[in-house]
Amino acid sequence: FGGINLEDIKSPECFEIEETLERELDIPVFHDDQHGTAIVVTAALINALRVVGKKMEDVHIVLNGPGAAGTAIIKMLMTAGAKDIIAVDQFGTLYKGCNSAEAHKNWLGEVTNPRQIKGGLKEALEGADVFIGVSKPGILTTELCRTMNKDAIVFAMANPTPEIIARRGQGRRRPRHGHRPQRLPESGQQRPLLPRPLQGRSERPRPRHQRQDRSWPPPTPSLTSSPT
């Protein structure tokens, strides 16, 4: 095989399986739910920030649902320059010493939430520039959107029903800059398979050294310019 693509494996098992495969094999290992989603979301956010005139290193980002996809998104956003990210699970914000039963959430508590904000989604979203949802339907309300910063960006991607329906989220003040494609899918779904890196790899030798999360590159200009 030229590579392995993992699909629909929940956390934390997906992290353990991926680490084992990368340790034992000398071919690429790609987890669609983690890496594909992270690449697409990071590319979309890079473009959205250009529209509203903000920089990745300056914005306050809230991610709701730090599972397989959410954790990978946070890792890639940090690589792309994000410095102020708060992860929120069903129990509230993750912070240093949050003592979660899941190891990856304790790690997130150590490397995110620089202001150590404690509470729930409401507390995390106050003054936020970006909301990224990979959680459950209806958790984001119009009232919560109104507490976000000017020109806020919302990625509601819970599958199959998003955290908020697009037209409901528009109840807050109109952004200074805006862009809407001719067809705006209300499901909020993205295409995580678009950046799959395994194609064409079977002809090339693969060293035993595998990709390390800390060195994830941000999406290339060719992907950020894609309309999909």
How many CB atoms are closer than 10 A to CB 27?
A: 17
Dihedral sign (CA 51, 54, 56, 61): negative
- CATH code, 74: 3.40.50.720
216 in any annotated domain: no
Examine residue 212 and state whether it is found in any structural domain, yes or no. no
Cα 142 → chain centroid: 21
Could you tell me if residue 165 is inside a domain?
no
Domains in the chain: how many in total? 1
In a domain, 46, yes or no: yes
The Cα angle at residue 50 between residues 85 and 77, in degrees rounded to 5: 30
Selection from 65-69, 185-189, 218-222 with the highest mean pLDDT: 65-69
Determine the average pLDDT of the residues in 76-85. 97
* Residue 124 covered by a domain: yes
**What pLDDT does residue 6 have?**
77
The yes-or-no verdict on residue 204 having pLDDT over 80 is: no
Torsion of CA 211, 188, 185, 51, to 10 degrees: -70
Q: Domain containing 145: what range?
A: 4-156
Is residue 184 situated within a structural domain? no
Has this prediction a pTM greater than 0.95? Answer: no
Residue 40 lies in a domain: yes
Measure the CA–CA gap between 125 and 140, rounded to whole angstroms: 10
| pLDDT band with cut points at 50, 70 and 90 for residue 220 | low
Does 11 fall in a domain?
yes
Q: Are 67 and 105 in contact, with CB atoms under 8 Å apart?
A: no
User: Range with the lowest mean pLDDT among 6-10, 76-80, 165-169?
Assistant: 165-169
pLDDT digits (tens, 9 = 90+) for 83-109: 999 999 999 999 999 999 899 999 999
Round the average pLDDT of the chain to a whole number and report it: 80
CA 113/CA 62 separation, integer angstroms: 9
Sequence letter at residue 223: L
Name all contacts of 149-153 with Cβ < 8 Å and 24+ positions apart. 149/60, 150/175, 150/176, 151/52, 151/53, 151/54, 151/175, 151/176, 151/177, 152/128, 153/45, 153/48, 153/49, 153/52, 153/129
- Say how far apart CA 137 and CA 220 lie, in whole Å: 31
